[in-house]
Amino acid sequence: MSKDLSPKLSVENFPDHQVITQPNPLRKMIRRVAENDPDDPIARAEKALQELSSEFDGWMENECDRLASAHTAMEMNRGDTGTREELLRAAHDIKGSAATFGYPTAAVAAESLCRIIEHAPDFDQVPPELIAHHVNAIQAIVRENDRIDALGVSAQLSKKLRSVADEYLAHVNRDRPEHLEAILAPSIIPLD
């Protein structure tokens, strides 16, 4: 699989750095079209995603099962970094994908769980019930989505969990200013 990797580089030298420019190797991939060009690649992709969405409920359940398994393994092997990392990866994947799958409040609860795992100074000292409440809430939101979401319960549940987790993290990191700053910094993704 070969591609031309030898574009003509232009290098400007400065006392402590170089500025390197090359002719845009991807320029030939751009083409001009009429303003009224009916082809809309974004709309086409959104439609394809919509067609894929029939799979999302099943995928979300898979992600939940993975989270529950990771939680069980972590509880059985407290102190093992491998199980903790798998719990983080499972929660992190839900944080990143749940909104796409139609479960935005599960993403909020998963983000809260990720923050606990990432910012607790000693994960083994985190109250087990705080972790369990997050895992159970995510499962409830996904499994009972139609019933509890109609009542707005899932949003309230996620918000409450986040609030409790933030309070815990602020307390245990009170002497760790760099973590405190990261915990209190606003997310680049709006929560609501």
Partner 1 sequence: MYRIDFNKLRFLVCDDNAHMRRILRTLLHSFGAREVYEAEDGATALEMFTHYVPDIVITDWLMPIFDGLELAQMIRQPGGKGNPFAPIIMLTGHSEKRRVTVARDAGVTEFLAKPISAKGLYQRILNVVASPRPYIRTKNYFGPDRRRNTVNAYIGPERRNGGKAEVLQQPSLMDKAKVAG
State the minimum distance, in angstroms, from the CB of residue 68 to partner 1. 17
Tell whether residue 35 is a contact of partner 1 (CB under 8 A).
Answer: yes
Question: What's the number of CA atoms in the CB half-sphere (13 Å) around residue 68?
Answer: 13
Tokens 């769980």 identify what position?
Answer: 113
Query: What secondary structure letter does DSSP report for 186?
Result: P
The only residue of 8, 18, 150, 192 in contact with partner 1, by rule CB under 8 A: 18
Report the Cα–Cα distance between both ends of the chain, in Å, rounded.
Answer: 46
Question: What's the number of CA atoms in the CB half-sphere (13 Å) around residue 56?
Answer: 16
Tell whether residue 177 is a contact of partner 1 (CB under 8 A).
Answer: no
Tell whether residue 8 is a contact of partner 1 (CB under 8 A).
Answer: no
CB-based contacts of 7, cutoff 8 Å, min separation 6: 22, 23, 25
The only residue of 38, 39, 76, 81 in contact with partner 1, by rule CB under 8 A: 39
Site string (110-149) toward partner 1, x via CB under 8 A: -x--x-----------------------------------
State the minimum distance, in angstroms, from the CB of residue 54 to partner 1. 12
Tell whether residue 162 is a contact of partner 1 (CB under 8 A).
Answer: no
Distances (CA, A) of 100 to 57, 92, 115, 175: 11, 14, 20, 37
- Interactions with partner 1, residue window 74-103 (CB under 8 A): 85, 88-89, 92-93, 95-100
